[in-house]
């Protein structure tokens, strides 16, 4: 399929568009942008900087690859990398990385960013993630595969959200959210295991029961957290989900959301 560019769109010389790319009226594509095959850039989209967009994405009227809102940024060459089949809805902002954060803002495959989401510099978003309307993601945040972030949520810089986690709407997340759990509130607190999400994604009953037991053992006790985690490993460590749950908590630098 040939590339289709509207006469009223601006595609700068140097931009690389693979077969099947469609650029609709009044969109802008900068000279360092690379766009994978079958991607549609809708009217009003503004894509600039050293930005790579994968195949079969749909980009609505959003700003991608613009300079970060970091006062330490001095114009150094940094990137945005977006995977395949990503849907970026209206008025999303995705800022490129900074030298201090590794230089890359990265979004995985099959991600949905709903309207008015902000993705700050050096953020890393995994695969199959859903970020609902008006979520504000500060710099250096990491969000694991299959996580779901409820609308109007704010996520503090350097926070990590684990795989298959769920953050309730209108939350303020200031500490890390372990994989397979649910956090909600301002400030966000852990409320249990993401039972609905885990069932939908085909986790076994045994794994879900083990995670529920691990959550109770780790967070519903008066013992020090590291002592409780050792017991979790001893009793439930045969499950890979438990090993990931424990490892995430042990490696947390910001600390874990309270219960």
**Residues labelled catalytic:** 121-122, 139
How far is the C-alpha of 32 from the C-alpha of 22, rounded, in Å? 17
Let me know: does 106 contact 124? Beta carbons within 8 Å: yes
Beta partners for 193?
Answer: 181
Phi, psi of 133 (to 5 degrees): -55, 135
Residues 6+ apart with CB under 8 A from 54: 36, 39, 82, 83, 84, 85, 86, 109
DSSP state of 205: H
Let me know: does 68 contact 76? Beta carbons within 8 Å: no
Residues 6+ apart with CB under 8 A from 172: 153, 154, 156, 185, 186, 187, 188
């Amino acid at each position: 399929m040939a590339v289709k560019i509207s006469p009223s769109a601006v595609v700068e010389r140097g931009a690389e568009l693979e077969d099947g790319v469609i650029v609709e009226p009044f969109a802008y594509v900068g000279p360092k942008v690379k766009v994978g095959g079958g991607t549609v850039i809708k009217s009003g989209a503004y894509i600039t900087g050293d930005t790579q967009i994968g195949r079969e994405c749909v980009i609505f009227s959003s700003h991608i690859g613009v300079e970060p809102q970091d006062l330490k940024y001095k114009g150094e060459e940094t990137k945005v990398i977006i995977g395949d089949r990503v849907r970026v809805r209206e008025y999303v902002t995705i800022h490129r990385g900074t030298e201090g954060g590794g230089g890359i803002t990265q979004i995985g495959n099959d991600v949905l960013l709903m309207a008015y989401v902000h993705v700050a510099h050096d953020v890393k978003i995994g695969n199959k993630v859903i970020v609902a309307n008006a979520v504000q993601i500060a710099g250096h945040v990491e969000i694991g595969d299959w996580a779901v972030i409820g609308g109007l949520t704010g996520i503090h810089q350097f926070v990590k959200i684990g795989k298959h986690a769920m953050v309730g709407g209108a939350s303020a997340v200031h500490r890390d959210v372990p994989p397979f759990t649910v956090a909600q509130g301002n400030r966000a607190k852990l409320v249990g295991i993401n039972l609905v999400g885990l069932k939908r994604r085909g986790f076994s009953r045994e794994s879900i029961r083990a995670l529920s037991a691990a959550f109770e053992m780790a967070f519903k006790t008066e013992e020090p957290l590291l002592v409780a985690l050792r017991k979790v490993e001893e009793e439930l460590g045969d499950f890979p989900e438990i090993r990931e749950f424990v490892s995430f908590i042990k490696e947390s630098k910001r600390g874990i959301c309270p219960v």
